Every structure is written in structure tokens, then in C-alpha cells.
Amino acid sequence: MKNRRNILVTGGCGFIGANFVRLLVTACKTWRVINLDKLTYAGNLNNLVGIEEGESYRFVKGDICDKELVEQLFREENIDTVVHFAAESHVDRSITGPADFIQTNIVGTFTLLEAARKSWMAEESGVNNPCFLHVSTDEVYGSLGETGFFTEETPFDPRSPYSASKASSDHLASAYFHTYELPVRITNCSNNYGPYQFPEKLIPLIFNNALHGKPLPVYGDGKNVRDWLFVQDHCEAIVEVIKKGSNGHCYNIGGNNEKQNLDVVTVVCDLLDGKVGLLESGNPRSSLITYVKDRLGHDRRYAIDATKISSKLGWQPKMTFEQGIEKTIDWYLANQSWVEDIVNGAYQNYYENMYKD
């Protein structure tokens, strides 16, 4: 079939991965999607309710570190494209338990790169125009001062086990391009937000606590700055990198929405006050803000210069933060059972039993 791709999406049951799978099955109907996900705590099949397995989609429960499984999928599905989301991604968890981050983010990426090299670089491969897209983060660049932006040439300076593991995997992916001429492309994105984000991350955590009148923890003075990128915009950018990007190149993907953490928390509180009313006490939800001890190695500011992807590939974010955060809060309000299932662990217990070996 013309323009057909057989695309392996790793971590397609996670936050960004699930939004990406949803985009592909609706907007890229000639592409077959093979979703490989281990269904760890942040992987949730409920994120893909309504998407049926068939000609355009297949789900496989498995570990990206499983060499035999990964190589089998490349053979069975004639994989010509990899979009690699699967990663341990929560900074706090990397501080208290870094081992999983090293295994998944570094060893897992190595396993995928090796499988792609063996499959695509073989003389009898027959794969046309392959692409290995490694999805990464702006956290690999370290911390900015009050001015300036991360560009694709900014030296890496990771400050947490999470960002160090992602920087390592970025270097591995780049090395496979330079050493083996593997068709690798890398994206580094800013903070994503939107539907299906696991409730340990800032916006869904604040939403859930504020909705139920619980304290709203804010690290340090709350003035750490992040650039916020609506997840749908990010997913559309990745499609453009697959279609138009150049091998061996990195592309920064940003939302042009720099906000202090405290301002993000306040916006969420104000939106909830307007949509569901004030607290029973009559106080606004912002009164629940509680300052807590700062995170170890907490980077002060991230900001992305997305000029390259804009000028070379024609991508621009469509969603302002004000539009995106309201859509996000509306989604969480309409899907409170999804949040509750995660908070009480019901979703994970169900799927662990379903896929028990």
C-alpha cells in the first residue's frame, strides 16, 4: 500500500504514547501501529479504550529490554519505523530509585537500536525509508538562568538520574547514526500536559488534590519555570519529524508557554473554582497551596527554542496555554473515574490479572 508504514510505538499506553497512538489511528490510516508496552504503573490500557485491534493496530504486552521479543516483532511486522516513548520519566522516582531508570531508559534504548540495526542494515532487509525516532526531553540540557533558550546545540548538563539516563540514551541513538548510519532522529520536548497524564505529574496531581480539598504541594518558592506543551501539539510534531525530518538531526519541540510552577497551580485552582465552585469553607482552592522542601537538584528554568522544527518542517504549536489548560481540566472533570481508578490502583490490578503469565 502506498505511504504505508509499519510503526513500532514503545510505551504506547503511557501519557504521550497513548495520545500519539490515538492520533495515528485517526489521522494516519495507512500506517499500521504495533504498540509495545510493559504496562508498568504508568501504562494503562484504559488510555486506549475504543481502539480495537485489527489491520491498523496491535497491542503487545512486553518489555523493550526483551531482546528476543523486540527482534521477533521486527520480523513479524516488518517494522520500518520506531517511535520510542517508553521510559521511566518521573524525576522524584529517579531520585529514590534510579536503577529502573538506568535499565529502561539506557538498556531498553540499546536493545531497540540493536534490533533496528540488525533488521534494517542486513543486505536482505528490503525495508524502504526506515526511521528510528527517539523521543527525549529538554531536561538533558540542565538548567537555564533567567534568560536564554535551549537549542539543538546546547551542551548536555543533566542534573537528576532521570535526565542523566535520557541524556545517555540520546547519545546512544546519535552514536548509532554516526557509527552504523542507522536512520535515527531525536526530539527533545518541553513539559507536556493534557488528557491521560498520570496523576503523579504536576497538573493532574494539583487537579485531583484541589478537587477534593487536599493540600497542594509546591516545591521551594514555586518560581521554577517550565515551558508547557499541549500533548496533541507534541504528537503532531512527531508525525512531521517522521514525514519530513532528516536522519542524524535533533529537533527541539516547545510550546512557547513559559510559566512558573506556582502560576500553573493557581490557574488550575481558579479554573476549578469557576467550574465546580469554591471549597465548602468558602475559600478559593489556591488557599490549599502548601510549600514543601525543594526537590534535590531541582532545575530552575527550562525554555526551548523551537526555531529549527518551525523553519525546517513547518510545525508550530496550535494551542496556547490558556486554551490547553482549560481543555485539560474539562477532560479530567469529565473523566474522574479514570483518575480514581489510577489513584486506588484498580486499573493496574485488573490488567495485571488479565495479562498474568
Instruction: Give the 3-state secondary structure of residue 229.
Output: strand
- Answer yes or no: is 73 within a domain: yes
Q: What is the mean pLDDT of residues 265-279?
A: 98
- Answer yes or no: is 48 within a domain: yes
Position 353 scores a pLDDT of: 45
- Answer yes or no: is 212 within a domain: no
Q: Of 138, 233, 236, 258, which one is the catalytic site residue?
A: 138
With both helix axes pointing from N to C terminus, report the angle between 346-354 and 336-343 in degrees, rounded to the nearest 10. 70
Q: Is 162 in the active site?
A: yes
Residue 297 has pLDDT above 90, yes or no: no
> CB of 204 within 8 A of CB of 197?
yes
- Answer yes or no: is 337 within a domain: no
Residue 352 has pLDDT above 50, yes or no: no
Instruction: Give the 3-state secondary structure of residue 331.
Output: helix
Give per-residue pLDDT as tens, 202-244.
999 999 999 999 999 999 999 999 999 999 999 999 999 999 9
**Nearest Cα to 322, choosing from 248, 246, 266?**
266
Which residues does 243 contact at the CB level (< 8 Å), separation at least 6?
A: none
Domain boundaries, position 169: 5-196+230-256+298-318
Position 14 scores a pLDDT of: 95
Average pLDDT score, the chain:
93
Q: Is 138 in the active site?
A: yes
Q: Could you tell me what percent of the chain has a pLDDT over 70? A: 96
- Answer yes or no: is 85 within a domain: yes
**Predicted confidence band of residue 38 (pLDDT cuts 50, 70, 90):** very high
Position 174 scores a pLDDT of: 98
Residue 2 has pLDDT above 60, yes or no: no
Position 84 scores a pLDDT of: 98
All cell numbers assigned to 158: 543533566
Residue 314 has pLDDT above 60, yes or no: yes
* Antiparallel, parallel or unpaired: β 225-230 and 258-260: antiparallel
Position 342 scores a pLDDT of: 83
**Predicted confidence band of residue 126 (pLDDT cuts 50, 70, 90):** confident
Q: Could you tell me what percent of the chain has a pLDDT over 90? A: 84
**Predicted confidence band of residue 1 (pLDDT cuts 50, 70, 90):** very low
CA distance 182 to 132: 8
Q: Of 141, 162, 176, 251, which one is the catalytic site residue?
A: 162
Q: Is 176 in the active site?
A: no
Instruction: Give the 3-state secondary structure of residue 192.
Output: strand
Position 309 scores a pLDDT of: 98
- Answer yes or no: is 211 within a domain: no
- Residue 204: exposure state from Cβ atoms within 10 A (0-12, 13-18, ≥19): buried
Position 193 scores a pLDDT of: 98
- Answer yes or no: is 82 within a domain: yes
CA distances from 37 to 86, 114, 157, 244, 299 (A): 7, 18, 29, 27, 30
CA distances from 195 to 18, 99, 129, 236, 316 (A): 10, 29, 32, 15, 20
- Give the total residue count for the chain: 357
**pTM score, whole prediction:** 0.93
What is the CATH number for 34? 3.40.50.720
For residues 337 and 177, which has the higher predicted lDDT (pLDDT)? 177
Q: What is the mean pLDDT of residues 57-64?
A: 98
Position 346 scores a pLDDT of: 52
- Answer yes or no: is 219 within a domain: no
**Predicted confidence band of residue 57 (pLDDT cuts 50, 70, 90):** very high
Give the HSE-up count for residue 196: Cα atoms under 13 Å, Cβ half-sphere: 22
Q: Of 37, 88, 139, 236, which one is the catalytic site residue?
A: 139
Instruction: Give the 3-state secondary structure of residue 37.
Output: strand
Q: Which helix (H) or strand (E) holds 313?
A: helix 307-313
Residue 76 has pLDDT above 80, yes or no: yes
Looking at the structure of the chain, the number of domains it has is 1
Residue 82 has pLDDT above 80, yes or no: yes
- Residue 290: exposure state from Cβ atoms within 10 A (0-12, 13-18, ≥19): exposed
Instruction: Give the 3-state secondary structure of residue 205.
Output: helix
